[in-house]
Structures are given as C-alpha cells and as structure tokens.
Structure 1
Amino acid sequence: MRFMIIVKANADTEAGVMPPESLIAAMLDYNQELAAAGVLLDGSGLKPTSQGWRIRYEGDERRVIDGPFTETRELIAGYTLIQVGSREEAMEWSRRFPNPHGPGAPAEIEVRPMYELADFPPSPSIERMGAMS
C-alpha cells in the first residue's frame, strides 16, 4: 500500500524561506530511517506557488493561471511517498514525521492512501496501465 504524507504550506514556505539546518537534518534522519526500512519511495519539497501555475478546465478550454496562490492552508509545500503493508504501519511512520515547520511551530501534515491498479475494476485501460509498470 502506498501512502503520501503531504506537508501543508505556510507563509514561510510560500515566501521561499529555506528551512533551518536543524530541520533539514531531522528530515534527513527520518528519510534515512524510511529508506533503511525499505518503505521510502520518494520525497521532496515544492517551490513556492509563485513559481508555478494551474490549468483551469472550462468545458473544452484550458486556461493557464500563474501563481502565486493566496490560500496557504490549501497549498502543499512538500511530500513523502511511502510503501508499507498496512494503514497502521503508515500511521506509525507518519506519527514520527518531524514537524515540517520546526519544533513548536504550528503545522499539519495530511496522509492519504494512493490508488493501486487493483482498486479499479478490470478494463482494457487498466490492463494498459499495468503493462506500463
């Protein structure tokens, strides 16, 4: 089972403020533990939305909307992708996730299971997707 640990953005992450060395070290320690346990698939921080864009779909039209985006509570600053045997194991790992905004700072992470091909009913498209991996 794959899970994404989603780090919520705040004003500092949106301003492009780099984390202090102590937080980078704590995240490295955590990621090394994940890697040693064989559950780390990927993880990275995201640059501020001022460097990104959104695509808005309106009927058949697509419109590019340049960042920045203002509602930081809805934005993602980074993620860690893990593959574990159960929801409980994912919860155990996520409880150990370092505070992404530093010790004592208000912060929130969100953990979401990812769809697996087995979650979808069999179809030609799902077979094609399975052949890609």
Structure 2
Amino acid sequence: MTSCVEHMLHMELASPLGERILVPTHLLYRSQDPLAVQLLFQDSLQGPIPWVFARDLLAAGTRSLSGEGDVRVWPAETGPEALLHLLLSSPHGSAHLTAPLGAVERWLRRTYELVPAGREAEALDLESHLAQFLDGAP
C-alpha cells in the first residue's frame, strides 16, 4: 500500500528586489503523519529546507486566505494561470512563494485519497507509537 504522496514542482520566490527565483520544491505527504504536509525547498548551498504545516491549512488556502502566524496561504487568479501564494515567516526572515494552483490541488487530492479527511486518527496508529515510547524504543 502506498504510504506517501510526492510531487516535484518549481515554486517562485519573490526577492526583496522584485526578482523571481525558481525554487525546486518537493511536496511530501506521509500517511504516518496524516495531519501534516511537508515542503522541502531545494537550496544548492544549504541542501533541503523543510517546512511542515497542517494539510488542512494548505487545503483551505487553495480556496481563500488561510493561516496566521508563520504560514499564510491564499489563491490568486483563476483558470490555468491560477497561483497559490505561500507566505512563510520565521525568526530568520520571511519568504513569499508562488506555485501553480492546479498542481498543488491535484497533489492534495491524492493525499486525501490516501488518508481521507476525518480519518487521520486511524492512520496515526497511536497504539504502536505508544508501545514504542513505553518500551523506550526511538
């Protein structure tokens, strides 16, 4: 059984000078962590830079402005040119990225096929995690 859903795409990073920089991005969803999505931004100097946040936040952001704090997501435009905006903030700075909305929506649909909405708790396998914790396993 497939336990992860992956997709590679290029996001555009808006620099403070107005330049658009292509950032190879690996979208990753694992059924073992069913509430979260992971975006791995490929940086040639630092290697992959991960951002993990709620799958539901990303899904809501495909329809309207969602999130507060360090992750904000919203759609722009319609049709084949539609974009998804991500504003990521940390103590080290912030980044405004855009991605093709359709590609992100298709990937998200696949994540919900793997673990449907409302069924995340079943995928967590809390008993196994608790047993490992109580036995002192890593």
TM class, shorter-chain normalised? Answer: under 0.3
More helix by share: 1
TM-score under structure 1 length normalisation: 0.27
Instruction: Using CA pairs under 8 Å that are at least 6 residues apart, name the structure with larger relative contact order, 1 or 2.
Output: 1
- Name which one, 1 or 2, has greater alpha-carbon Rg: 1
More strand by share: 2
